[in-house]
Structure 1
Amino acid sequence: MEQVIKVMKAIHPKRHLLLSILITLAAIALFWSLSVNHSPGEEWGAQSLLPTLLVLAIALISRAPFESLLIGVVAGLIMIDNTTVVTSFTDTISAVMGNDTIVWVVLVCGLMGGLIVLLEKSGCLNSFSDWLKGRIKSRRQSLLTTFFIGLVVFIDDYLNCLAVSSTVKKVTDHYKVSREKLAYIIDSTAAPMCILVPVSTWAVFFSGLLEENDLAATGKGLSVYMSAIPFMVYGWVALVVVFLVASGMLGNFGPMKKAEQRAMNGQPLPDDYTGDNMEAAAPEYRKTSNLVGMLNFIVPMLILIGATLYYDIDLLKGIIVTLAITVAMYYVQGLLSLEDQVKGIFEGFKVMLYPLSTVIAGFMLKSVNDDLGMTSYIVSVVAPLMTAELMPALVFVVMAAVVFGTASSWGSFIIAIPIVVPIALGVDANMALIIGALLSASSFGSHACFFSDSTVLAAQGAGCSPMSHALTQLPYVAIGAVISFAIFVVLGYTV
């Protein structure tokens, strides 16, 4: 694949443009013909996979996840009805933008970006980074510190991806750690850690889903969720693998090795990163004493965690309360005027626009895949192979593939659980083990997918492109997935 990318880059720009146009026209013709030859009411079957496969192929070649997702969405809409593509596209984006989850994601990520910009402008983030530099004496310590901070910020993967990166980025830069490795460590302690802690947004969502699907009595969803935590294998394995990487016991290989060599030569940022950095959007306005600066950084972080917990793990309410108190703190101290702080919050939204656009496009692709019946098709194909012993491993593989291809770590399971649960009951499978496999698959997909919300936010926070982050961490993610599959096979025959 790297050779393909090099060839594409070596082509003269005009020829490259012409080739891109020809490939696009060929894809449109293919999906148009599928639409013409499809009988109304007939299931799409294996053809439902094509839009997602197109997205993955284009993303690998172009390294542009947002544009790849849009092409996949349009291709899917052509398949569904080639006479109403424009109307279907506008209806889809309107439905997605009106989705409660998307509204929540946009507000949380935008306001989190605003908080980080305020921490930068006030000089508090620099104070905390300087304090860390005074205590961290080696490259290995900087990586382990990132790992352990990631374990502590377990309430939400979004909070983890944005807050941890802002905290340690200047320290890891000082020790010549590539932004790709930073993104990998952050991403590996986001979703994999969140599923293992019952006090997280993931636990709240999935425990509610268990109750809705009669896997738990009303009010008992969290108890059932907690019983499955020991079987959420991928979460445990991913944490072990990333610890080995951070401690240096598992070395660099593949694309990560090249990224680390570049960083050791004095360039932590990858060549293909053209996005906005938080620090670029928010220059430091004022220097404060280290003690005051540290308090002005630590207090908002503690308020954010405390307020989120107080409001039943609702990060949106937590960030709103935190911003209100932080703005008041900085204004009273004379660090920043109200006007500067409001502008800073909007700058944070601006920095988050591209990652949010990618997340929104991912939700659009999920909507198209739902219409095509992709998830149902994949599960139905594997269903005849499922026995009580093999079902945990097969559920992990199938749902991991679904989430990897759709970037929908939560939404896919709303469709999949009503299909998987009756099969599990029919073969008398261990339900706690099946729930653990489902959560492991969700965590893996969020972690590994090139255009998932966790991937794009970890990349944005660390300061690298989503594709650079995804490709450099892929070998380590694959190791975790293979080990998890093997463990699920063993558990299926022993538990």
Structure 2
Amino acid sequence: MEQVIRVLTTIRPKRSLYLSVMVTLATIGFFWSLSATHETGESWGAKALFPTLFVLAIAIIYRAPFESLLTGVIAGLIMIDNSNVVSSLSDSLSTVMGNETIIWIVLVCGLMGGLIVLLEKSGCLGNFSDWLKGKITSRRQSLLTTFFIGLVVFIDDYLNCLAVSSSVKKVTDHYKVSREKLAYIIDSTAAPMCILVPVSTWAVFFSGLLEENGLAADGAGLSVYISAIPFMVYGWVALVLVFLVALGVVGNFGPMKKAEARALSGQPLPDDYDGDNMEAAPSNDRKQTSNFVGMLNFILPMIILIAATVYYDIDLLRGVIVTLAITVAMYYLQGLLTLEEQFKGIFEGFKVMLYPLSTVIAGFMLKSVNDQLGMTQYLVEVVSPFMTAELMPALVFLVMAAVVFGTASSWGSFIIAIPIVVPIALSVDANMALVIGALLSASSFGSHACFFSDSTVLAAQGAGCSPMSHALTQLPYTAIGAVVSFSIFIVLGYSL
């Protein structure tokens, strides 16, 4: 019997390998044939969707967002030019890595990771967690606390995803909350909250985009943005839904139910998570401080981070640079950490963020491929004949939510979409504030729900679970939010 088992265990991996090779070759052949039969200059039409659909399928099957994105990028590049894939891949990577937004994201996430490592190594994060444990007396309170802290940290979704998770993780672990549920609560108060507050990186970006596309006069972009906030339906729905989940009114179902059952049995971390979870051990030889001073050493950098970001016109990069400089000086003067320990900690933070950052970079590469294939234009053109003044907000939300969900480009897709959507909205005399609200709702939903969006990846990284575990457990809740939002947009379209 043992010999039979040994034979079977050697055969199964070989069969799996052969199957993988055959599927890979068939996929390459499929995309190669699409390229070979395509006429230069002709629209790709529905075929433009194939790389993104391929990415989603691979991500669900293998639960590996970066790998699925990379294969989707290669598949798309084969479609575009099957004779020059290696050069195209190299050029795409070089272009993305030279992108100003990517450089900003790499620096912000790396430095934020470094700041969190310093807070942990100094023991100050532990002091704050111990203080929270003394104030929180139940599982429900731990979830509600996470929700309300997320509402306060509204400046940027990156800051929200990384800072909030670090401050409450040990408390939710104490009350046996799954890391997936923690990630869901954090993610639901990230992009959905950021679009509803005019003092955020999202408001700054989109108000500028409104001015560039003639929807607002120079300097009036923020005023137009604020007028659309009541109609950013998905943001409101997502916040209400996550509050009800934290309160216990909306229960656990689907993959979240299994994750919570596992956590209640004493295992908050999911089985498929094997990466660094940004939980650096405190330095053994650090100077001991009182709980009050330690808690102050945690809270003060967070206040400085928010204040400096606001001071520098909602620029999180400048905010985190100022915060790191002050924090390093504070900890050195108090004898908590040496300068060498602190700079090593900052580099550790960059190292911890490498996988999330690689996923974001691959997502930008997929967006570049989709732009070349004309995916966004195709989807908008397909639904354009059905766009009336009444239905347009709902259809804009539906289409752009699908685009952002499939591409993870919660900002970049709208640079292409707005010049297409705005003329249609003007031609049918649609309510422009409602259309802008639908656009921002779609962006928020896509950032929230996409398996490989920056918000999803960072929320998972901060909470300490894999991006796919987070994405799959929160998917039923984001789907509920999307359906409710779509229905509300239909009602608003006919009533306003």
Q: TM-score, normalised by structure 2?
A: 0.97
Which residue number in structure 1 is paired with residue 296 of structure 2? 295
CA contact (8 A) 2:154 2:193 kept: yes
Aligned-partner Cα distance in 1 for 2:404–2:132: 37
Which residue number in structure 1 is paired with residue 354 of structure 2? 353
CA contact (8 A) 2:146 2:164 kept: yes
Superposition pairs of residues 80-159 of structure 1, within 5 angstroms: 80-159=80-159
AA in 2 matched with 1:26? A
Which residue number in structure 2 is paired with residue 270 of structure 1? 270
SS in 2 for 1:82: coil
Pair 11,389 (structure 1): closer, same or farther in 2 beyond 3 Å: farther
Aligned-partner Cα distance in 2 for 1:18–1:247: 49
CA contact (8 A) 2:121 2:281 kept: yes
AA in 2 matched with 1:266? G
Aligned-partner Cα distance in 2 for 1:103–1:390: 39
Which residue number in structure 1 is paired with residue 4 of structure 2? none
Aligned-partner Cα distance in 1 for 2:241–2:319: 31
Which residue number in structure 1 is paired with residue 327 of structure 2? 326
SS in 2 for 1:155: coil
Which residue number in structure 1 is paired with residue 64 of structure 2? 64
Aligned-partner Cα distance in 1 for 2:444–2:282: 35
1:188-242 CA-partner distances (Å, limit 9, x unpaired):
0000000000000000000000000000000000000000000000000000000
CA deviation after TM superposition for structure 1 residue 20, in Å: 1.6
AA in 2 matched with 1:493? Y
Q: Are residues 1:13 and 2:6 paired?
A: no
Aligned-partner Cα distance in 2 for 1:327–1:267: 35
AA in 2 matched with 1:413? F
SS in 2 for 1:12: helix
CA contact (8 A) 1:391 1:492 kept: yes
AA in 1 matched with 2:231? F
Which residue number in structure 1 is paired with residue 183 of structure 2? 183
CA contact (8 A) 1:407 1:445 kept: yes
Aligned-partner Cα distance in 2 for 1:384–1:479: 27
Aligned-partner Cα distance in 2 for 1:344–1:474: 34
CA deviation after TM superposition for structure 1 residue 14, in Å: 2.8
CA deviation after TM superposition for structure 1 residue 10, in Å: 13
Aligned-partner Cα distance in 2 for 1:19–1:51: 21
CA contact (8 A) 1:195 1:443 kept: yes
1:137-159 CA-partner distances (Å, limit 9, x unpaired):
00000000000000000000000
Aligned-partner Cα distance in 2 for 1:10–1:454: 40
Which residue number in structure 1 is paired with residue 488 of structure 2? 487
CA contact (8 A) 2:256 2:474 kept: yes
AA in 2 matched with 1:369? N
CA contact (8 A) 1:129 1:170 kept: yes
SS in 1 for 2:196: coil
Q: Are residues 1:416 and 2:417 paired?
A: yes
Aligned-partner Cα distance in 1 for 2:386–2:361: 35
Which residue number in structure 2 is paired with residue 435 of structure 1? 436
Pair 10,136 (structure 1): closer, same or farther in 2 beyond 3 Å: farther
RMSD: 1.1
Aligned-partner Cα distance in 1 for 2:414–2:368: 13
Which residue number in structure 2 is paired with residue 199 of structure 1? 199
CA deviation after TM superposition for structure 1 residue 17, in Å: 2.3
Pair 170,42 (structure 1): closer, same or farther in 2 beyond 3 Å: same
CA deviation after TM superposition for structure 1 residue 11, in Å: 9.1
Which residue number in structure 1 is paired with residue 458 of structure 2? 457
Which residue number in structure 1 is paired with residue 23 of structure 2? 23
Which residue number in structure 2 is paired with residue 73 of structure 1? 73
1:56-82 CA-partner distances (Å, limit 9, x unpaired):
000000000000000000000000000
Superposition pairs of residues 298-447 of structure 1, within 5 angstroms: 298-447=299-448
Pair 283,29 (structure 1): closer, same or farther in 2 beyond 3 Å: farther
CA deviation after TM superposition for structure 1 residue 12, in Å: 2.8
Which residue number in structure 1 is paired with residue 3 of structure 2? none
**Which deviates more from structure 2 when the two are superposed, residues 121-130 or residues 22-31?**
22-31
1:276-303 CA-partner distances (Å, limit 9, x unpaired):
1111x44444343101100100110000
CA deviation after TM superposition for structure 1 residue 25, in Å: 1.1
Pair 308,11 (structure 1): closer, same or farther in 2 beyond 3 Å: farther
AA in 1 matched with 2:50? L
Aligned-partner Cα distance in 2 for 1:385–1:15: 49
Pair 99,165 (structure 1): closer, same or farther in 2 beyond 3 Å: same
Q: Are residues 1:215 and 2:215 paired?
A: yes
CA deviation after TM superposition for structure 1 residue 471, in Å: 0.3
The unaligned stretches of length 5 or more in structure 1 are 1-8
Aligned-partner Cα distance in 2 for 1:12–1:298: 54
AA in 2 matched with 1:143? L
Which residue number in structure 2 is paired with residue 5 of structure 1? none
Aligned-partner Cα distance in 1 for 2:324–2:213: 37
CA contact (8 A) 2:122 2:282 kept: no
Aligned-partner Cα distance in 2 for 1:32–1:295: 60
SS in 2 for 1:278: coil
> Percent sequence identity over matched residues?
83
The unaligned stretches of length 5 or more in structure 2 are 1-8
Which residue number in structure 1 is paired with residue 476 of structure 2? 475
CA contact (8 A) 2:48 2:375 kept: yes
Q: TM-score, normalised by structure 1?
A: 0.97
Work out the number of aligned pairs and report it.
486
Pair 290,425 (structure 1): closer, same or farther in 2 beyond 3 Å: same
Aligned-partner Cα distance in 1 for 2:182–2:12: 34
CA deviation after TM superposition for structure 1 residue 31, in Å: 0.2
CA contact (8 A) 1:282 1:344 kept: no
AA in 2 matched with 1:236? W
Which residue number in structure 1 is paired with residue 6 of structure 2? none
AA in 2 matched with 1:445? G
CA contact (8 A) 1:127 1:288 kept: no
AA in 1 matched with 2:495? T
AA in 2 matched with 1:331? Y
Aligned-partner Cα distance in 2 for 1:94–1:134: 50
AA in 1 matched with 2:406? G
Aligned-partner Cα distance in 1 for 2:116–2:372: 38
Aligned-partner Cα distance in 1 for 2:290–2:180: 32
Aligned-partner Cα distance in 1 for 2:415–2:217: 18
CA contact (8 A) 1:157 1:194 kept: yes
SS in 2 for 1:329: helix
1:399-438 CA-partner distances (Å, limit 9, x unpaired):
0000000000000000000000000000000000000000
Pair 10,169 (structure 1): closer, same or farther in 2 beyond 3 Å: farther
